[in-house]
Structure 1
């Protein structure tokens, strides 16, 4: 099988490529150039896809004896990931750029090009498993190492993409074993630190980066009744669930801390309130995709687990499709769910699919009989 190994320059993709070579496949390594700033270098363990990473990937491919190429996807990355990130934050939403990169770059642009060049599959160093179902279809499942499981950020993959995806690390029980294997193979990435944070914001200052890209738009910080409590220089710098940096002069009447409950980009308002007001009992969205054929029960109601953050815990819920919208009713409220986050649906270990959260229903906005309360009732 002809396999294109996506080489980030880290230890995971290095070992994934090595396993493909050892399995006897015809492997070619490719590093994706996603930035048009050639002087970009890794700072500690921040960022990825830098000049240093490309060099590391090239050295690994030389050690493995396979061809190595660098493909320039910087323009598409800017349009599909960076510009999307800016647009989402400007609209008061909280996007996940890693998930968007997997969707639009690694398993759309990269896979499309790989198939056009005659490759059979793309292999990456993600921690997830692909399982062949009884009907022959391919399913996406959680990795053996739950601590490293990355099925959440792969939840955007479609059944057609899973047919041409390989995740050689999915059954590896720990990252330490991957590093030890890299060392045995003589790969220089064996002790390289993991990357984290947003790759195109290498210093980790997301608020500062957004301010530079979006600018300032002063507005009010208000409570749920609309009373002005303070002011800010840009609503895009706030996220739902945020507690620090609100700069509200006077404390709440009960002395308890306030949290960001909602960001309103049109009016430039940031709504704050008590911690319990962050609890939501229902989420919904229309931008959905399925990792293979979903069970027919999703249209009438299916008990599932849902995860709304890459490192969050899955929680029990019930999903149904209502007039084209994916609606998830939570068994127990979730705290601090923001529009723009991705909700990934699981049936046991299997990823069913995902949707982008457009709306949520606050738990304290629902009366005992299930009816939503009015804004006036909530403010009283």
Structure 2
């Protein structure tokens, strides 16, 4: 190999440290780059400044490996593409996934462009996923595969990447298990060997989400309504074939008359479906779960217990312009279906599902009812260990 240049996103964690080490061992010319992302001290839970500590660790690792290192400040792009987007989504009563966006918009877009400007052939990260390349009809196709470590597979977070982005990306730790990564770091005397995995949002560390959101979204008192599990709302209409997709994917619609007021809250836009904590309502036999938030009328609907029928649906819908195929060659045409495995959140076991492409979007129908299907989150679909595509749940 003629010394291909790789820019590694050194985050100050063990995974990216080992990624840099492995690439150097494989003969690449490696450059370490730390991304300083948007940071706001007013909403972080602890006094420590995570990005300073992380950039320092990244610099120590680069030093140890004998590779050039620099910090790039991406705060502005972060605020614009991730933070502002989050505020907008919460305001609409949707729950965004900043980690998926951060990969699509920052690490594999803004950061990738910086790397290419530095004359790099590739960027690399410490993600637990794999990539391979196949040829089909004389075309090169990059496949995004789950990481070898089933407990750490992070392919879901990369579900919005394109063929162009994958072509320029390497995932050096994807073939390893986490304990193996830590072992390599120990053997190489890397300062990050025993460092705990980072928690919290991809750009601001551990935060109190309501505090973060309250900077732009004002508190507004509303009521919490508890809907009993035997409510007529859940009887629904029987689904004929034509409206089966519609019926199975439709949200339950509640009115205050469907239950009783059991408490107050400070703004429906601070809460999300499936949430249990933060309601401050006591005295129920089973814990209350949020089954719906109505931001227009500022009402939170809840149900008792994690098996409440209001939490479950078999189907979901993705609008046409929010469907994304990693494998563009497998894209469905109107009227076509595809059997896949799918998940609606990170670390959720894959479940059998069928994709139905219609003229206005994509229906995803699961074999089993799914708990807390949440608008704004991503559904990702797979064929065995290959991630084929994803979409924003509508």
> TM-score band (shorter)?
0.7 to 0.9
Task: Return the match for 2:268 from 228, 235, 246.
Answer: 235
Task: Return the match for 1:268 from 298, 315, 327.
Answer: 298
Q: Tell me by how many angstroms 1:195 deviates.
A: 0.5
Following the alignment from structure 2 to structure 1, what is the Cα–Cα distance between the partners of residues 341 and 19? 29
Following the alignment from structure 2 to structure 1, what is the Cα–Cα distance between the partners of residues 340 and 393? 17
Map 1:204-353 onto structure 2 (within 5 A).
204-222=207-225, 223=227, 224-227=254-257, 229=261, 230-248=263-281, 257-274=287-304, 275-286=308-319, 287-297=322-332, 299=334, 300-353=336-389
- Please give the TM-score of this superposition, normalised by the length of structure 1: 0.86
SS of residue paired to 2:276: coil
SS of residue paired to 2:363: strand
Following the alignment from structure 1 to structure 2, what is the Cα–Cα distance between the partners of residues 19 and 247? 49
Q: Tell me by how many angstroms 1:272 deviates.
A: 2.1
Q: Tell me by how many angstroms 1:113 deviates.
A: 2.3
Q: 1:25 and 1:237, CA in 2 relative to 1: closer, same or farther beyond 3 A?
A: same
Across the aligned residues of Structure 1 and Structure 2, the Cα RMSD in angstroms comes to 2.4
Q: 1:126 and 1:249, CA in 2 relative to 1: closer, same or farther beyond 3 A?
A: closer
Alignment gaps of 5+ in structure 1: 359-380
SS of residue paired to 2:123: strand
Q: Tell me by how many angstroms 1:256 deviates.
A: 5.0
Map 1:165-176 onto structure 2 (within 5 A).
165-172=169-176, 174-176=177-179
Q: Tell me by how many angstroms 1:116 deviates.
A: 3.3
Following the alignment from structure 1 to structure 2, what is the Cα–Cα distance between the partners of residues 202 and 112? 25
Q: Tell me by how many angstroms 1:38 deviates.
A: 9.1
Following the alignment from structure 1 to structure 2, what is the Cα–Cα distance between the partners of residues 4 and 43? 31
SS of residue paired to 1:29: strand
Residues 220, 270 of structure 1: 8 Å contact kept? yes
Match of 1:13 in 2: 16
Following the alignment from structure 2 to structure 1, what is the Cα–Cα distance between the partners of residues 333 and 23? 36
Q: 1:182 and 1:248, CA in 2 relative to 1: closer, same or farther beyond 3 A?
A: closer
1:156 partnered with 2:160 = yes
Deviation track 1:209-235 (CA, whole Å, cap 9, x = no partner) reads: 223442201222234342351332111
Map 1:35-46 onto structure 2 (within 5 A).
35-36=38-39
Match of 2:128 in 1: 127
Q: Tell me by how many angstroms 1:51 deviates.
A: 0.6
Alignment gaps of 5+ in structure 2: 228-253
SS of residue paired to 2:158: coil
Residues 43, 202 of structure 1: 8 Å contact kept? no
Match of 2:107 in 1: 106
Following the alignment from structure 2 to structure 1, what is the Cα–Cα distance between the partners of residues 189 and 30? 18
| Mean CA deviation greater in 145-154 or 132-141 | 132-141
Following the alignment from structure 1 to structure 2, what is the Cα–Cα distance between the partners of residues 159 and 37? 34
Following the alignment from structure 1 to structure 2, what is the Cα–Cα distance between the partners of residues 245 and 142? 34
- Please give the TM-score of this superposition, normalised by the length of structure 2: 0.83
Map 1:50-199 onto structure 2 (within 5 A).
50-135=51-136, 136-172=140-176, 174-199=177-202
Q: 1:39 and 1:177, CA in 2 relative to 1: closer, same or farther beyond 3 A?
A: farther
Task: Return the match for 1:2 from 2, 5, 11.
Answer: 5
